[in-house]
Amino acid sequence: MSRKKHLHQIRRSLYRAALQLKTPPKRGPEETLAQLFREVQVKQLYSDGKTFADMTPKRRLRQIKREYRLASQDPDFHLADFVKRHFYDFTDTESTHQTLPVANSARQHVTNLWPRLIRSAPKNKGSLIALPYDYVVPGGRFEEQFYWDSYFVMLGLAADKQWELIEGMMKNYTYMIRKFGYIPTANRSYFLSRSQPPFFAHMVKLLAKGRHSRLTYLEFLPALLAEYRFWMKGRRKVSSVTYPAYARVVAMPGSEILNRYYDNKTTPRPESQREDLETAAKSANFDKAKIFLDLRAGAESGWDFSSRWFRDSHNIETIHTTDIVPIDLNCLLYDLEKTIAHCYSIIQQSALRKKFDRLAQKRAEAIRRYCWNESERFFYDYDFRTGQQTGRATLAAIFTLYSGIASKQQATDVVKKIESDFLAGGGLVSTLIDNGQQWDAPNGWAPLQWVAIQGLKHYGYDDLADTIRRRWMDSVETVFVERHKMIEKYDVTSESRVGGGGEYPLQDGFGWTNGVYAALHDDLKI
């Protein structure tokens, strides 16, 4: 090891130790910048609201706000000039636009992309929260370590034997769990009120297999338990009769406890403030706080946005995410319970193992009871306010196969509908509704293709799994040949395969597309 590299490692170790003692920011720019932030977002100074939310102030915030109050009273005040003078914009950095080596294949391109997508955050910068280890970002507008994205990124890193990087990202999550009590959407201060689909248990399984060590489970057991406590907070407060929901837990009619997506704030999302205000203004619902809460909960789901959260499938103003018990979330929490039980089995704590096995079994039974539709032969999200299923057929149903919750007959019926209704020329559509939202038809998304393929294989439907795999990889390769890029989402029904819709333009990068494609290409076994 060179002396320079050795000194660098010493500095990084000292920095990581110091970081444990620091308090990360707990207020987002919408709070710290107040009126200035609102004016920039409402006036759409930037086409993408995330741009200003991610900027770094050049001076102390107190000084910037004082200057803003004085300057804004001037009739000749120019907001764009003020922001340019007082904030750094890191969206056009060298690391995101460095020239890549020419790749002869999409698979080689993924390997070449990893260095371009690696970031480090040794210090808090504006809304960016410092993390002790390097991490991989999705790309494009997303310059943070996003929660559920990271699992699918890790699949590709595993295919490329980047285990040290995976381990560092996992340690970033345990760091955030210690600091915040849970894993936020990403390491941004404005994301600290919400999480994302809980894939942490799957990350632990992946790392344990890569290390060939059961001790990995024990290393991360405290973090797994903290993750579980976060999602189950309030479970003793709820009652199906008097108080059916609290935070992310819901008391079902039979007194079972299931979960929903939620958020701890009832204001517009800082990164999409203008869009949320417009949605609330158009809505017939007079309770604007509830609309903001449901928009935020939809963002926590990762499916932001989709008809599965709307009363009117074509109208986001009818969003009611927090009324819904989602299939995918509860399947992932079943996986978390089973993983915790496995941890306790390793250390021969039979009472605790049985406890979490029972919790998992009860959850599985509740999912089958409330989400399975016998006449439609398919799983649907459940609206606990109405006591009925939503009736929206979505690819979330495949999570029951991914987690092994569906019975053999239920799996057979789900597979029939997936093959007849969801399978397109380029892979699987997310829903059967085409309304302009990015998590609806005709778009297909890498994480859902992976979940579907693994779920189908779990029940022995290898032929359909291979068909989806081949068609999805063809979609990725088609766009790569035309654009030499990996993109965020794909239109699995069109010849171009280029996806669209949603609140922001199509993003290049792209973390989970890279990861899933590499894992499928290499036939990664997990």
CATH at residue 31: 1.50.10.10
179 shares a domain with 32: yes
Domain extent at residue 366:
233-392
pTM (two decimals): 0.95
Are 296 and 194 within 8 A, CB to CB? Answer: yes
Residue 77 pLDDT level (bands cut at 50, 70, 90): very high
pLDDT of residue 304: 97
172 shares a domain with 58: yes
Instruction: Confirm whether 225 is domain-assigned.
Output: no
415 shares a domain with 272: no
Instruction: Confirm whether 468 is domain-assigned.
Output: yes
Instruction: Confirm whether 318 is domain-assigned.
Output: yes
Helices marked H in 160-253 — which ranges?
163-180, 200-211, 215-232
Q: Which of 167, 184, 216 is the last residue of a domain?
A: 216
pLDDT of residue 15: 60
Instruction: Confirm whether 224 is domain-assigned.
Output: no
User: Among 12-26, 286-300, 411-425, 484-498, which is the least confidently predicted range?
Assistant: 12-26
pLDDT of residue 96: 46
pLDDT of residue 423: 98
Better-predicted residue by pLDDT, 298 or 103: 298
Better-predicted residue by pLDDT, 162 or 1: 162
d(CA 330, CA 197): 10
Kindly list the catalytic residues. Answer: 304, 488
Residues 6+ apart with CB under 8 A from 34: 65
Instruction: Confirm whether 525 is domain-assigned.
Output: yes
209 shares a domain with 175: yes
Are 257 and 232 within 8 A, CB to CB? Answer: yes
pLDDT of 266 strictly over 70:
yes
- Orientation angle between helical segments 106-117 and 147-159, nearest 10 degrees: 120
Q: Rg (Cα) of the chain, in Å, rounded?
A: 23
pLDDT of 245 strictly over 70:
yes
pLDDT in tens, 437-467: 999 999 999 999 999 999 999 999 999 999 9
pLDDT of residue 25: 79
Q: Which of 188, 216, 244 is the last residue of a domain?
A: 216
512 shares a domain with 369: no
pLDDT of residue 20: 67
195 shares a domain with 80: yes
**CB contact burial 60-83 (16+ within 10 A = b; e otherwise):** eeeebbeebeebeeeeeeeeeebb
Question: Which one, of 450, 433, 452, 451, lies nearest residue 442 by Cα?
Answer: 433
pLDDT of residue 95: 46
Q: Calculate the average pLDDT of the chain.
A: 94
Are 519 and 158 within 8 A, CB to CB? Answer: yes
**CB contact burial 96-113 (16+ within 10 A = b; e otherwise):** beeeeeeeeebbebbbeb
Instruction: Confirm whether 401 is domain-assigned.
Output: no
d(CA 186, CA 55): 16
Structure tokens at 476: 């990725």
pLDDT of 52 strictly over 50:
yes
pLDDT of residue 525: 86
- Orientation angle between helical segments 446-458 and 511-521, nearest 10 degrees: 30
Residue 7 pLDDT level (bands cut at 50, 70, 90): low
Residue 94 pLDDT level (bands cut at 50, 70, 90): very low
pLDDT of residue 17: 64
Q: What is the DSSP string of 295-344?
A: HHHHHHTS--S-GGGBSSTT-GGGB-GGGEE-HHHHHHHHHHHHHHHHHH
245 shares a domain with 204: no
194 shares a domain with 134: yes
Q: Which long-range contacts (CB under 8 A, 24 or more apart) does 88-95 make?
A: 88/55, 88/56, 88/57, 88/58, 88/126, 89/51, 89/55, 90/54, 90/55, 90/56, 90/125, 90/143, 91/51, 91/54, 91/141, 91/143, 95/119
pLDDT in tens, 100-145: 777 889 999 999 999 999 999 999 999 999 999 999 999 999 999 9
Question: Which one, of 332, 326, 309, lies nearest residue 438 by Cα?
Answer: 309
199 shares a domain with 267: no
> What are the counts of helices (DSSP H) followed by strands (DSSP E) for the chain?
21, 16
Percent of the chain residues topping a pLDDT of 90: 90
Are 327 and 304 within 8 A, CB to CB? Answer: no
376 shares a domain with 427: no
Query: In angstroms, how far apart are the furthest CA atoms of the chain?
Result: 73
pLDDT of residue 100: 76
d(CA 406, CA 388): 20
Are 474 and 107 within 8 A, CB to CB? Answer: no
Phi, psi of 470 (to 5 degrees): -65, -45
Residue 401 exposure: Cα atoms within 13 Å on the Cβ side: 31
d(CA 522, CA 259): 35
Q: DSSP character for 33? A: S
Are 272 and 194 within 8 A, CB to CB? Answer: no
State the average pLDDT over residues 209-227.
97
318 shares a domain with 260: yes
The neighbour count for residue 93, using CB atoms within 10 Å, is 11
Q: Which long-range contacts (CB under 8 A, 24 or more apart) does 14-21 make?
A: 15/122, 15/132, 16/132, 16/133, 19/122, 19/130, 19/132, 19/175, 20/132, 20/175, 20/178
The neighbour count for residue 212, using CB atoms within 10 Å, is 7
Q: Is 202 exposed, middle or buried (0-12, 13-18, 19+ CB in 10 A)?
A: buried
Residue 6 pLDDT level (bands cut at 50, 70, 90): low
Instruction: Confirm whether 376 is domain-assigned.
Output: yes
420 shares a domain with 370: no
Instruction: Confirm whether 183 is domain-assigned.
Output: yes
- Orientation angle between helical segments 511-521 and 462-483, nearest 10 degrees: 130
- Calculate the CA 224 to chain-centre distance: 17
What separation in angstroms does the CA of 251 have from each of 255, 309, 399, 464? 6, 20, 22, 37
Count of domains observed in the chain: 3
Q: Which of 346, 365, 392 is the last residue of a domain?
A: 392
